[in-house]
Amino acid sequence: MPRHLRVKMILPALTEATSPFWRPIKYSLFPPLGLATLAGYLDDADEVSIHDEHVERLALDDHPDLVVIQTYITSARRAYALADHYRARGAYVCLGGLHTTSLPDEASRHADSVFIGPGEDTWPAFLADFHAGRPRPRYVSTTRTLEDLPPIRRDLIKRRLYLVPNSIVVSRGCPHTCDFCYKEAFFKGGKSFYTRRVDQALAEIAGLPGRHLYFLDDHLFGNPRFALALFNDMRGMGRIWQAAGTVQSVLAPGLIEQAAACGLRSLFVGFETLSQNNLVAQHKMQNLRYDYAAAIRKLHDLGVMVNASFVFGMDEDDPDVFDRTVAWAVEQGIETATFHILTPYPGTALYARMVAQGRVLHSNWDLYDTRHAVFQPARMTPQALEAGYWRAYRQFYRWRNIFAGASVKTGLASRLRHVAYAGGWKKLEPLWDIIIRARQVTRMLPMLERILAGPAQTTPTGARTENAGLPDSADYVRTTAQK
């Protein structure tokens, strides 16, 4: 066992990196924060590097002692190939992440150790075992806490390769339990929602350069007491930020107002479906009987843009659901929308139900990317589901509909902001590609902040807020691939 380790940490490319669905900008948004967090537990003398295959070419001719690979379902094939490669070169290989947690036996065939669930307890336990020369093949998380984490090794992140280098996580999991969500599968056997201490979260925020932040928490507002304390102390920090939350948290009195007052400018909201029956069937009770339109109006009144998530293919969805949903979203003036095809991820309640009903069509994980129908829908064919999904994207992001959505806003500045935000995210793909190839993407951050800065808003408490934002698309890095 070498005294000091050469450790290589890898985020393998999602399979779609080699497919027509690849959008470089979508995967040049956030650095691999989870790996940087694990790197914090390593010894200062260890030689550690973090590699994100979405933004850089991976050299494979090296000889690390320890290789750590984070897996998602659509990167599993690539993750296993890398794992096999490095094991053949004599490295000790660890696999963790959502897909490893869902299917640890599958992952075990390619790894020396697999990690089930979050790593705050298992990763340091593994390192102690590894240094003692007796690592175990499987580590299962049971003790969950975000208190007193070692500092995240942000120094290992190649910031210039990302549009949003300041991603941050101050909680893990979510207090809700939606059937299609990875959350229950990932956190089973322990707490499934917990937060950092407010002072520690603030210290991390204070240490991040620049102005913009992106909270990658599944549900930043899941513990209102924590959220309010955080927002209260963030006032005066001059930050602008984005996050994800629920309809319920938007409509809760006072919560989103405080968030806006300390810099919230864009929120990813999981509306998922306009059907109450679908919500019940998926156990998404926190959306039930809430007024979606009122939530959107409230966000817009506070100067907060909306990235709305919708899932197609639930059992109440008929072939008209796509046009209906797009028309509704445009009418509400939603700035950006993220559409998904319902996908039964292994380990979820939805997957168990679909298997029991004999509706899962195959286990080609490459196609479990929320763009393909991998199950038999109740009221349409899989082909109609896929065609409708693509049609929804095309329709929503037609210039005509972008302008129609913008026209809902009050005032020219708000309308221009809407057009710049939606158009910049979806209509300038070739430009983004050139910028990314030139490795200049991070230079776009100030410009985007300015473009998206809207008119100052007045909160109900009288506080003025400053506006800015960025395109949202955090979906692939969340524990939910379908928020």
In the complex with ligand SF4, which residue's Cβ is closer, 53 or 317?
317
3-state secondary structure 308-360: EEEEECCCCCCCCHHHHHHHHHHHCCCCEEEEEECCCCCCCHHHHHHHHCCCE
Q: How many CB atoms lie within 10 A of CB 443?
A: 12
- The distance of Cα 402 from the centroid of its chain, to the nearest Å, equals 24
Contact letters (x/-) for ligand SF4, 164-203, by CB under 6 A? ----------x-xxx--x-x--------------------
In the complex with ligand SF4, which residue's Cβ is closer, 452 or 481?
481
In the complex with ligand SF4, which residue's Cβ is closer, 174 or 213?
174
Smallest distance, Å, CB 81 to ligand SF4?
29
In the complex with ligand SF4, which residue's Cβ is closer, 80 or 310?
310
With CA atoms as reference, report the closest residue to 463 among 236, 213, 230, 297.
Answer: 236
Q: Does 465 bind ligand SF4 (CB under 6 A)?
A: no
In the complex with ligand SF4, which residue's Cβ is closer, 176 or 418?
176
Smallest distance, Å, CB 192 to ligand SF4?
9
Residues in the chain: 483
- The footprint of ligand SF4 on residues 105-144 (CB under 6 A) is none
One-letter amino acid identity for 211? R
Smallest distance, Å, CB 219 to ligand SF4?
5
For 373: left if phi > 0, alpha if psi spans -120 to 50, otherwise beta; the answer is beta
CA dist 463 and 157 (Å) reads 36
In the complex with ligand SF4, which residue's Cβ is closer, 101 or 467?
101
Contact 247, 295 (CB under 8 A): yes
Q: Does 401 bind ligand SF4 (CB under 6 A)?
A: no
CA dist 228 and 222 (Å) reads 11
* Contact residue for ligand SF4 among 16, 120, 217, 218 (CB under 6 A): 218
Q: Does 472 bind ligand SF4 (CB under 6 A)?
A: no
Q: Which two tokens stand for residue 189?
A: 């056997």
How far CA 171 is from CA of 191, 196, 211, 450, 482, in Å, comes to 12, 6, 21, 29, 19
- 459: Cβ–Cβ under 8 A, 6 or more apart, which residues? 257, 260, 261, 302, 465
Q: Does 468 bind ligand SF4 (CB under 6 A)?
A: no
CA dist 450 and 402 (Å) reads 20
* Contact residue for ligand SF4 among 28, 74, 246, 442 (CB under 6 A): 246
Smallest distance, Å, CB 340 to ligand SF4?
11
Q: Does 11 bind ligand SF4 (CB under 6 A)?
A: no
CA neighbours within 13 Å on the CB side: how many for 171? 26
Question: For ligand SF4, how many residues bind (rule: CB under 6 A)?
Answer: 12
Q: Does 219 bind ligand SF4 (CB under 6 A)?
A: yes
Smallest distance, Å, CB 307 to ligand SF4?
13
In the complex with ligand SF4, which residue's Cβ is closer, 130 or 214?
214
Q: Does 340 bind ligand SF4 (CB under 6 A)?
A: no
Q: Does 314 bind ligand SF4 (CB under 6 A)?
A: no
Q: Does 395 bind ligand SF4 (CB under 6 A)?
A: no
Strand, coil or helix: 52? strand
CA dist 98 and 173 (Å) reads 12
Smallest distance, Å, CB 177 to ligand SF4?
6
Q: Does 307 bind ligand SF4 (CB under 6 A)?
A: no
In the complex with ligand SF4, which residue's Cβ is closer, 418 or 483?
483
Contact letters (x/-) for ligand SF4, 255-274, by CB under 6 A? ---------------x----
DSSP letter (8 states) at residue 22: -
How far CA 213 is from CA of 166, 216, 302, in Å, comes to 5, 9, 18
With CA atoms as reference, report the closest residue to 396 among 371, 426, 428.
Answer: 426
Smallest distance, Å, CB 342 to ligand SF4?
12
Q: Which two tokens stand for residue 185?
A: 């599968």
In the complex with ligand SF4, which residue's Cβ is closer, 15 or 480?
480
In the complex with ligand SF4, which residue's Cβ is closer, 46 or 315?
315
- 153: Cβ–Cβ under 8 A, 6 or more apart, which residues? 36, 37, 39, 40, 42, 48, 50
Smallest distance, Å, CB 71 to ligand SF4?
19
Compute the chain's Rg from CA coordinates.
22
In the complex with ligand SF4, which residue's Cβ is closer, 176 or 415?
176
Smallest distance, Å, CB 476 to ligand SF4?
14
Strand, coil or helix: 203? helix
In the complex with ligand SF4, which residue's Cβ is closer, 28 or 273?
273
DSSP letter (8 states) at residue 375: B
Q: Does 480 bind ligand SF4 (CB under 6 A)?
A: yes
Q: Does 483 bind ligand SF4 (CB under 6 A)?
A: yes
- The distance of Cα 220 from the centroid of its chain, to the nearest Å, equals 12
Smallest distance, Å, CB 191 to ligand SF4?
14
CA dist 23 and 436 (Å) reads 11
Residues forming contacts to ligand SF4 in the complex (CB under 6 A) are 174, 176-178, 181, 183, 218-219, 246, 270, 480, 483
